[in-house]
Structure 1
Amino acid sequence: MIAIVGLISPFFGLIALGFVTGRIVRHPVDGLAWLNVFIIYIALPALFFQLLSKTPVEKLASGGFIVATTLATFLIFALGFAVALARTRGDIPVATIQGLAGAYGNIGYMGPGLALVAIGPEAAVPVALIFCFDNTLHFTMAPLMMALGGDRKGSPAKIALGVVVKIVTHPFIIATALGVAAAILGATPPEPVDRFLQLLANAAAPCALFAMGVTLALRPLKRVPVELGYIVPIKLVLHPLAVWLLLGLFGNFDPVWVKSAILLASLPTATNVFVIAQQYGVWVERASASVLVTTVVSVASVTLLLFLISSGIVPADPFAY
């Protein structure tokens, strides 16, 4: 357990450092804009390209893995959405944000760096696949459910086109596609370009985690919403449990892939949930609280989970015995 704590403490330490800095240095949250641009449009795409372009092609095709992990995320979203819909007596927009709070993990900022350090470079491919397909799911569900809830900014065709454009133009998705293409073609960039991309990739996790901490500091928690009583366990316990069970049902996967998938599912609510809530003007402050509270609780829950899977207490196949 001490080794696990030592392994992941730098990651949560970077979040804490960003949080403390955000409290001490009173710059507005808008000051993070360019750092976020660097993270989302440059550093993380460079990381995904570097990981995937050097991966054997045969490892990139795993339909059962993709279906199992994406289905698990969808079922968790559906659970959170259903609970919220019942509590709000049919408020679809609010239920959508709560569903996302329970299913949309911080797989962009925290996922790659944490998985590569805790599990190893073999985690690169499953992390990239989960990121692509989970984000495609969330990018699809958010505007679709908001449209069903009455926020129809255009015709169904226009909404569908907007969803497709959002997916195919996302820098992470583009970088992943280019990385896969490079792996298939066996193409490698010139050495100076490769070193440059690696330099950018190395900056991704530290910058992302620091920015996350600052963001949390600049959105102080005014009160703990009662909804977190079910959102926190859905996100931090039921989501990784669902991924583990469905991977066991769908096939016999590499233990490294299973561990990577469980780890990503156990991560706290993504800051993008707050961004989506802000975009639609729905459940904004409580979405921010969900990000903060799940992040704080995940310090203990993710540490415990890593201990359980690394020690073999939680086997890769839940139905092996």
Structure 2
Amino acid sequence: MSAVVNVAIPVFAIILAGYLAGRLRILGDAASEALNRFVYFFALPPVVFLGMARRPLVEILNWPFIGAFLGAMLAVYAMAWAIGFLLHRERPAVLSMQALNACFANTGYMGIPLFLAAFGEAGLAPAILATVIMSAVMVGLAVVVLELVQSAGNGPGRALLDVGRALLRNPLVMATVAGMAWSVAGLAVPVPVDNLGSLLGASAGPCALFAIGLFLAGRPLAADLAEIGWIVALKLLWQPLLTWWLAFRVLPLDPYWAASAVILAGLPTGALTFVVAQQYRVYVERTSAAILASTVVSVVTLSALLATYAHLTP
């Protein structure tokens, strides 16, 4: 229970503060976009870079963790495609977005701040690795599918080229690559760079959480509740359950990394799905509804996961 009081309540309280700021019109849509850009381009990349650069690469690239976290995510992605096709007979672009919403965890904006609060900087490695997986693998997969669907006739080469360009422009991916290179080189981070990154990174947690609330304040719940219901159930129940089975029963993971995989899998749908939906003009309103509903429900489910695993230490 102390994990819920000490970690979950402050985390969700900051999200609530952002939501109220948006609903009361203290801050508007322009502020939401500006704050999101600050977090995405300036606050989170230093956290990721320092988290990678300060640790040996072998300590970060935990392959059993990748297998458990990514394996469960891809399984849920496939399940969502099947359910969406059987229940709604939607076109492939919509099926792709339904699947993305059902498995895409909010590891960057919510996972990293949550792990900072719960486990400190020493426990950040799983959250950083999960964020890389979400940004590079799942966004890449979604973009490939949508490009192939919407650019039928242009061939997969153009789609893969667009994906490559998008990843090269992704600050979280680039911060990860830079941090890994620094770690492999065995270099110490210069004190001014360390201090600058620490100062910017200190703002990542509260700003990212506040930005989630501000973003949700402007999103209507305009969707079929039954459809949103099965998407949220896959995201907050089935994905952590599958991850738990892989992490604790199948793959050789130590308790902290196994628990981290389950907690990260239990995060609500990430806001980047809305960015993808807007970019391709497909499933936009229902994506915003899935983000809002999963975030609200995760107050209960994520608190339960933290209460179960927060006693573990890295």
TM-score (norm 2): 0.92
Supply the RMSD in Å over aligned alpha carbons.
2.0
In the other structure, the counterpart of 2:262 is 262
In the other structure, the counterpart of 1:274 is 274
Q: Which amino acid aligns with 1:105?
A: A
Contact residue 96 and residue 142 of structure 2 kept, 8 A: yes
Q: Which amino acid aligns with 1:182?
A: W
Distance 1:222-1:141 versus aligned 2 partners, 3 A rule: same
Contact residue 148 and residue 155 of structure 2 kept, 8 A: no
Contact residue 49 and residue 178 of structure 1 kept, 8 A: yes
Aligned mates of 1:195, 1:74 — CA distance in 2 = 38
Aligned mates of 1:38, 1:10 — CA distance in 2 = 22
Taking every aligned residue pair, what percent have the same amino acid on both sides?
Answer: 35
Contact residue 36 and residue 211 of structure 1 kept, 8 A: yes
Deviations along 1:103-136, one digit per CA (max 9) or x if unpaired, are 0011110011102322343432222212112322
In the other structure, the counterpart of 2:49 is 49
Aligned mates of 1:28, 1:144 — CA distance in 2 = 33
Aligned mates of 1:152, 1:185 — CA distance in 2 = 43
Distance 1:33-1:300 versus aligned 2 partners, 3 A rule: same
Aligned mates of 1:153, 1:174 — CA distance in 2 = 31
In the other structure, the counterpart of 1:109 is 109
Aligned mates of 2:225, 2:135 — CA distance in 1 = 26
In the other structure, the counterpart of 1:78 is 78
Deviations along 1:195-223, one digit per CA (max 9) or x if unpaired, are 11100011001111111111110123245
Contact residue 105 and residue 268 of structure 2 kept, 8 A: yes
Contact residue 153 and residue 159 of structure 1 kept, 8 A: no
Q: Which amino acid aligns with 2:285?
A: E
Deviations along 1:224-257, one digit per CA (max 9) or x if unpaired, are 5320221111000111111121223553212111
Distance 1:171-1:250 versus aligned 2 partners, 3 A rule: farther
Q: Which amino acid aligns with 2:177?
A: A
Runs of 4+ in 1 over 3 A off after TM superposition: 119-122, 147-155
Deviation at 1:23, TM superposition (A): 1.0
In the other structure, the counterpart of 2:290 is 290
What SS does the corresponding residue of 1:108 show, helix, strand or coil? helix
Deviation at 1:167, TM superposition (A): 2.0
In the other structure, the counterpart of 2:192 is 192
Corresponding residue pairs, total: 312
Deviations along 1:284-319, one digit per CA (max 9) or x if unpaired, are 11110110011011011100111123469xxxxxxx
Contact residue 139 and residue 166 of structure 1 kept, 8 A: no
Q: Which amino acid aligns with 1:129?
A: L
Distance 1:153-1:288 versus aligned 2 partners, 3 A rule: farther
Q: What are the ranges of 5 or more consecutive residues in structure 2 without an aligned counterpart?
A: none
Deviates more, 1:205-214 or 1:29-38: 29-38
Q: Which amino acid aligns with 1:187?
A: L
Q: What are the ranges of 5 or more consecutive residues in structure 1 without an aligned counterpart?
A: 313-321
Deviations along 1:136-156, one digit per CA (max 9) or x if unpaired, are 221222122224434449432
